[in-house]
Amino acid sequence: MAFRDLLWVLTLRDLRARYRGHGLGYFWSILNPLLLLVVYTVVFSTILRVGIDDFVLFLACGLLPWTWFSTALSVATGSVRQGAGFVRRIYFPAQVLPLVAVLSQLVHFLVSLPLVLLLAAVLGRVPGAPLMALVPIVLIQTVFTSGLALFVSSLGVRFRDLEHILSNVLLVLFFLAPIIYAPEMVPTGLRWVLRVNPLAVLIGGYQDVLYRRAWPDWMSLGLALTVSVLVFGAGALLFERERRGFAELL
């Protein structure tokens, strides 16, 4: 299928271009989350003392999926604009552009996972069978992120200030998921936020598997999947509606 070939070859293009010329390719792709991991760990376990055991592992479980999510959306916002060289030159299924952003960030996420496993091993928290649950969790996150990516990328064609707005929204979203705090710390009256936010559910899932060494809560994941599919459908519809006008706006 042509669309799949396109998705594949453009993702590969993205990854090749990124790693080309840097012998340090792998290192670069994990440098940013690594840096955040170190800084946050220092701040939250030695200065603010949040009192989460093995905080560095807990944090890694949330921070790496978050980095995938937020970077993918930032890149997706400008992806159609970046892809003007295709969109203005040939009849082109522009949907691939934001999806490529999600997939190539997914690859970065996947190559950083061994780091988390290593960390878990060092801390004596080797995950067992629940590790398999990462597959559905990653898939749900892919669907959710892709839906939002389609949404922001189609708005990003017209609106130049979207990138700026998005970075502010992401700043807020970061605190609406249990990345630097544990769900138990949240007042009971506010916990529903974590239950309805698919990203919070997904991050909880990574923590269940990789930090708590338990199976995730399938009910919550089912709900996250439902929301993700709806978001994807809405994003795809909006994109399809706007797509015909993209070439002339670029």
Partner 1 sequence: MTRAQTGHAVEVRDVWKSFDLVATRQRHLKQSLVDLLAGRREPRPRHAVLRGVDLSVARGETLGVVGRNGSGKSTLLRLLAGIYSPDRGSIETRGRVATLLELGAGFHMDLTGRENVEIEGIVLGLSRAEIHRRAAAVVEFADLGEYIDQPVRTYSTGMYMRLAFSVAVHVDPQILLVDEILSVGDAGFVARCHDRIREFQRQGASVVLVTHDTGAAEAWSDRVLWLDDGRVQSMGDPGEVVDTYLKAVEGG
If one asks whether residue 20 binds partner 1 (CB under 8 A), the answer comes out as yes
If one asks whether residue 159 binds partner 1 (CB under 8 A), the answer comes out as yes
Supply 71's token pair.
């970077």
Size of the site for partner 1 (CB under 8 A): 32
For partner 1, the closer CB: 75 or 87: 87
Supply 219's token pair.
């009910």
Among 24, 31, 42, 165, binds partner 1 (CB under 8 A): 165
| Unique residue bearing structure tokens 């946050």 | 40
Q: Are 111 and 190 in contact (CB under 8 A)?
A: no
Among 23, 47, 91, 184, binds partner 1 (CB under 8 A): 91
Positions of E strands within the chain: none
Minimum CB–partner distance for residue 89 and partner 1 (Å): 5
If one asks whether residue 53 binds partner 1 (CB under 8 A), the answer comes out as no
If one asks whether residue 8 binds partner 1 (CB under 8 A), the answer comes out as yes
Distance of CA 120 to the CA centre of its chain: 21
* Chain residues 221-250 in contact with partner 1, contact rule CB under 8 A: 244-245, 247-249
If one asks whether residue 10 binds partner 1 (CB under 8 A), the answer comes out as yes
Q: Are 138 and 205 in contact (CB under 8 A)?
A: no
Among 21, 23, 124, 187, binds partner 1 (CB under 8 A): 21
If one asks whether residue 23 binds partner 1 (CB under 8 A), the answer comes out as no
